[in-house]
């Protein structure tokens, strides 16, 4: 296949396995994609500082992160969407009254407004990254593109009904992403491909999580991992093997890119 394509990869559960490791077959598959002249990009809910090592290892300079709120093309920011400041102030009061911690995230760092909370420690621990420090005023005068809200499954309904300018997407049994309303990986991917001049027919995407659903529905050539949620598999055109079973390599071969 000689015509240049662009492929977006989620990170957790897609490029990374459950131990947050990059399988050798996945690394080689990415290198082979690039050798064939295809454009490789990342689409993740993570903040950029949480996957810099991965970008460096794979040589990737284009990414959609914060679930679409930040789009970077060849290391240059082309789009960013911030959380509404007034709504964020209200969210802080609302969540504090319910003893639900928040983690504020900008492109450079993250801080929690409640020190040493077990829900924060448990859910952030699954990312195999450092725990956020405590700074309740971190959001002030910073470009907050995403916030993490820590509450049990079902408890986010009260937030959904109270904050029209935010979307709430669960990524862990104890945590949800707080995003600008209408924000998604799909929006970020659309921004990226329009900027780069790719037609939708030349766009591919791999994912496994609930925050990948809109992206997989938007992208014509979408692939769900074998380890994906059932809803995610239903949203994708193709289903590849489990991430631990050379799922990326298998999926790229399946769609004819390798």
| Catalytic residue IDs | 10
Residue 117 has which token pair?
Answer: 């909370």
The secondary structure of residue 95, as a DSSP letter, is H
Distance from C-alpha of 115 to C-alpha of 135, rounded to nearest angstrom: 8
Query: What order of strands is seen across the sheet that includes strand 221-224?
Result: 76-80, 70-73, 63-65, 39-43, 6-9, 203-207, 221-224, 238-239
Give me the sign of the Cα torsion angle 11, 257, 25, 217: positive
Looking at the DSSP bridge assignments, the partners of residue 80 are 70
């Amino acid at each position: 296949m000689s015509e240049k394509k662009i492929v977006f990869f989620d990170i957790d559960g897609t490029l990374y396995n459950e131990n947050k490791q990059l399988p050798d077959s996945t690394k080689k598959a990415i290198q082979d994609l690039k050798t064939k002249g295809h454009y490789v990009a990342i689409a993740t809910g993570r903040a950029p500082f949480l996957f810099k090592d991965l970008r460096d290892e794979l040589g990737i300079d284009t990414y959609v992160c914060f679930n679409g709120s930040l789009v970077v093309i060849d290391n240059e920011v082309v789009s960013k969407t911030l959380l509404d400041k007034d709504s964020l102030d209200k969210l802080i009061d609302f969540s504090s009254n319910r003893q639900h911690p928040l983690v504020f995230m900008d492109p450079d760092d993250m801080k929690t407004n409640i020190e040493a909370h077990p829900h924060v420690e448990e859910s952030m621990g699954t990312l195999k990254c450092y725990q956020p420090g405590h700074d309740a005023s971190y959001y002030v005068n910073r470009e907050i593109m995403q916030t993490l809200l820590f509450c049990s499954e079902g408890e986010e309904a009260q937030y959904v009904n109270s904050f029209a300018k935010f979307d709430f997407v669960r990524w862990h049994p104890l945590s949800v992403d707080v995003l600008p309303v209408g924000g998604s990986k799909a929006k970020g991917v659309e921004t990226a491909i329009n900027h780069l001049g790719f037609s939708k027919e030349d766009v591919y995407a791999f994912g496994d999580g609930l925050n990948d659903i809109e992206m997989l529905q938007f992208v014509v050539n979408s692939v769900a991992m074998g380890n994906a949620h059932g809803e995610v598999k239903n949203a994708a055109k193709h289903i590849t093997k489990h991430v631990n079973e050379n799922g990326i390599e298998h999926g790229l071969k399946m769609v004819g890119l390798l």
